[in-house]
Amino acid sequence: MATPPVKVYGPPLSTAVSRVLVCLLEKDVPFQLVPVNMAKMEHKKPDYIKMQPFGQVPAFQDDDITLFESRAICRYIAEKYPNKGTAGLFGTNPLVKASIDQWLEAESQSFNPPSSVLTFQLVFAPLMKLKQDEALIKQNEAKLEKVLDVYENRLGSSRYLAGDEFTLADLSHLPNTQFLVEKTDKAELFTSRKNVGRWWSEISTRPAWKKVVEMQNA
């Protein structure tokens, strides 16, 4: 079998890497996952920095381009393969696409910051034997609650964030939420909110995401 032209660099446990993996799986685009050992600082070595000058994961390559930033990679994949796999991932007309983009930006600007801090503090810091910052946890939990209140309201009148279909906007939330719900005592933030809970159980049981979780647990 020929080696797929698409390469993703980084560990599947990384939230940003898993965001790209789930997008590729939803779009049925074959790829090769190239490991990057972050404990050994491989992401800061010259060969990697050539691809990603900030020394962050993931990096992405196909025949035509090298790209970084997981949400830019997801947009590129969805635009390059509009008719493959889950077709409506980035909408089928400009107005729908803009609404998806709006919620993808909301994830990026409002959901990601507090949920990333909580994921780091509650999941990764203990693994790395780092001391947790209780004040930071409290502060970011409060921020996340406010964001989830907005989502609770939105998801009361819309099945998914951007409308009736699962899109990149919902997909982008999978990585951090998976950690918070499954690996911390903060699952309640999501499950105690009726609409958010319903939305989470729908999006997290999609086959593509289940496959990524398997890769993370391998």
* Site residues, another protein (CB under 8 A): 53-54, 64-65, 67-69, 71-73, 75-76, 79-80, 94-95, 97-99, 101-102, 104-106, 108-110, 113, 147, 150, 153-154
Q: Which C-beta is closer to another protein: that of 79 or that of 202?
A: 79
Tokens linked to 142: 């409060």
10 Å CB burial of residue 115 (0-12, 13-18, 19+) is buried
- Give the shortest CB-150-to-another protein separation in angstroms: 5
Assess whether the previous peptide bond of 5 is cis (omega < 30° from 0): no
Amino acid at 187: A
C-beta of 94 vs 207, nearer to another protein = 94
Name the residue nearer to another protein (CB basis): 53 or 207. 53
Distance CA 111, CA 17 (A): 17
Cβ contacts of 8 within 8 Å, gap of 6 or more: 17, 20, 21, 24, 31, 32, 33, 34, 58, 59, 60
Cα separation, 171 vs 70, whole angstroms: 12
| Nearer to another protein among residue 147 and residue 181 (C-beta) | 147
CA-based torsion, 91, 59, 215, 183: positive or negative: negative
**CB of residue 144 to another protein, shortest distance in Å:** 13
Report the residue number, 34 or 72, with the smaller CB distance to another protein.
Answer: 72
Least Å distance, CB 99 to another protein, is 7
In angstroms, give the least distance from the CB of 13 to another protein: 19
**Rounded least distance, CB 81 to another protein, Å:** 11
